[in-house]
Amino acid sequence: MQDRNHLSKVNVVSTLAVIENGLLDIPMIQLLDESGTETNPEQSPNIDEHTAKKIASTMQYIRLLDERMVGAQRQGRISFYLSCTGEEASTIGSAAALSDDDMIMSQYREQGALAYRGYSTEQFMNQMFSNQLDPNKGRQMPIHYGDKQLNFMTVSSPLGTQIPQAAGFAYGQKMAGKEAVTISYFGEGAASEGDFHAGVNMAAVLNCPVIFFCRNNGYAISTPAEEQFKGDGIASRGIGYGVKTLRVDGNDVLAVYAATKMAREIALAENCPVLIEAMTYRLAAHSTSDDPTGYRSKSEEEKWRAKDPLDRFIKWLDAKGWYDEKASEAFLDKSRAEILAAVKTAEKVDVAPIEDIIEDVYDVAPWHLKEQLESLKSHIKQYPEHYPKTAGRIK
């Protein structure tokens, strides 16, 4: 490739012409069409039966979990929830193409990747109910998952911050000689943050084995993509940073899986970032605090419902002879019962004791935090009826 890094190396022409975005026009790779037929069997990834079934059941499970937890939020049992409906192929298909040693740094709509890694229903519930079994110790809002064992970095609300962080994490993996990459998930809205620019550019210049995975689902809350950027989506920016880039059909598990697998191989072999833009649609509301009927039409949603990533993948499984409808029904029944039971269990578990409020701010609580805790405890003891969750448990 031509070295374009300095003025002295730029091609010189004498024709006055602007360069237009449309000339780039990056195509979207699709390997499985809406009828569940492989578009180019030679390019289809070699997914074994076990992996294919695990992807499908994780997609089914997450859809069920989302539906039930939106219900639980409506009943006031949890404070907040955020579904990933419509985007299961993007997050689960990509997670399936990774190694368990790869670090996942997500935005917040990637519960599918976490479920694929093996996060249990109980673990999901403990986090959402902010009880004392939550690994975050009840400190963060629901859906801000994290699990050290599963190499899933704890989610934080500020958007885009994980993009340069993923570059740094990947750099550390490379320097430590690990055969592992980092994947950073984010939405097309978050890609407007300065941290996207900073992170992708740094990863390119500093040769970091990181996969930037953008879920371009058309909306950032109420803001449609056309009010988010004017260029050819997010993929065109990768090219500008000198980053190898793919655009895939985000509702097509085969394309997402194949692209992520290829990206991982390139990132590891060449110590460089790869950007994947998965084109999909946020069928869900942004969150339980949002009502999309205020900013988009039912007919638009219906159009995308017809492109359902789960239906499409099941058609493919079925054609392979790997889909058993009865077994699938039984799995859903079992999962439904499991989720219901886990809700009932998790909501009965106490919140962490009040002493925990000052832990983990530092490695060891300094003098001022200890003083503030003592003062808080004597206050709670004075007004126990106002602090029922902790008053009876003060040591």
Partner 1 sequence: MAQMNLLQAINNALITAMTDDEKVMVFGEDVGHFGGVFRATSNLQEKFGKGRCFNTPLTEQGIIGFANGLASQGSVPVAEIQFGDYIFPAFDQIVNETAKWRYRSGGQFTTGTLTIRTPYGGGIAGGLYHSQSPEAFFAHIPGMKIVIPRNPHQAKGLLLASIRDDNPVLFMEPKKLYRASVGDVPEEDYELALGKADMVQEGTDITLLAWGAQVEIIQQAAKMAAEIGISCELIDLQSILPWDVEAVCESVCKTGRLLINHEAPLTGGFASEIAATVQERCFLYLESPISRVCGLDTPYPLAHEKEYMPDHLKTFEAIKRSMNF
Catalytic residue set: 282, 286, 295
Binding residue for partner 1, selected from 30, 161, 192, 328, defined by CB under 8 A: 161
Q: Which residue has the tokens 């003060």?
A: 394
Q: Cβ–Cβ contacts within 10 Å for residue 144, how many?
A: 20
- Residue 114 in the binding site for partner 1 (CB under 8 A): no
Quick one: which segment of 9-17, 339-347, 353-361, 385-393 binds partner 1 (CB under 8 A)? 353-361
Instruction: Evaluate whether 124 touches 346 at the Cβ level (below 8 Å).
Output: no
Binding residue for partner 1, selected from 44, 67, 135, 229, defined by CB under 8 A: 135
- The helix/strand/coil state of 337 is helix
- Residue 337 in the binding site for partner 1 (CB under 8 A): no
Q: What is the β-pairing status of strands 103-105 and 219-220?
A: unpaired
Quick one: which segment of 20-28, 51-59, 153-161, 216-224 binds partner 1 (CB under 8 A)? 153-161
- Residue 242 in the binding site for partner 1 (CB under 8 A): no
Binding residue for partner 1, selected from 32, 62, 82, 167, defined by CB under 8 A: 167
Rounded least distance, CB 319 to partner 1, Å: 42
Enumerate residues 251-310 that contact partner 1 by CB under 8 A. Answer: none
In eight-state DSSP terms, residue 53 is: H
- Residue 47 in the binding site for partner 1 (CB under 8 A): no
- Residue 106 in the binding site for partner 1 (CB under 8 A): no
Instruction: For residue 205, give the nearest of 166, 163, 161, 242 by alpha carbon.
Output: 242
Query: Which tokens go with 62?
Result: 């997450």
- Residue 360 in the binding site for partner 1 (CB under 8 A): yes
Quick one: which segment of 15-23, 39-47, 133-141, 281-289 binds partner 1 (CB under 8 A)? 133-141
- Residue 197 in the binding site for partner 1 (CB under 8 A): yes
Instruction: Evaluate whether 245 touches 170 at the Cβ level (below 8 Å).
Output: no
Quick one: which segment of 7-15, 218-226, 356-364, 381-389 binds partner 1 (CB under 8 A)? 356-364
Instruction: For residue 152, give the nearest of 93, 103, 213 by alpha carbon.
Output: 103
List CB contacts of 378: < 8 A, sequence separation 6 or more. none
Instruction: Evaluate whether 262 touches 272 at the Cβ level (below 8 Å).
Output: no
- Residue 177 in the binding site for partner 1 (CB under 8 A): no
Binding residue for partner 1, selected from 21, 40, 43, 194, defined by CB under 8 A: 194
Query: Which tokens go with 29?
Result: 């790779």
Rounded least distance, CB 199 to partner 1, Å: 6
Q: List helix spans (H) across the chain.
A: 49-74, 88-96, 111-117, 121-128, 162-175, 194-205, 235-240, 253-270, 298-305, 309-320, 325-346, 367-382
How far is the C-alpha of 178 from the C-alpha of 83, rounded, in Å?
33
- By 3-state DSSP, what share of the chain in percent is helix, strand and coil, each rounded to 5? 45, 10, 45
Binding residue for partner 1, selected from 153, 220, 274, 346, defined by CB under 8 A: 153
- Residue 192 in the binding site for partner 1 (CB under 8 A): no
Rounded least distance, CB 114 to partner 1, Å: 14
Binding residue for partner 1, selected from 28, 206, 332, 351, defined by CB under 8 A: 206
Residues of the shown chain interacting with partner 1 in the complex, contacts defined by CB under 8 A:
103, 105, 134-137, 139-140, 144, 146-148, 153-154, 156, 158, 161, 163-173, 175-176, 182, 194-195, 197-199, 201-202, 205-206, 359-363, 366-369
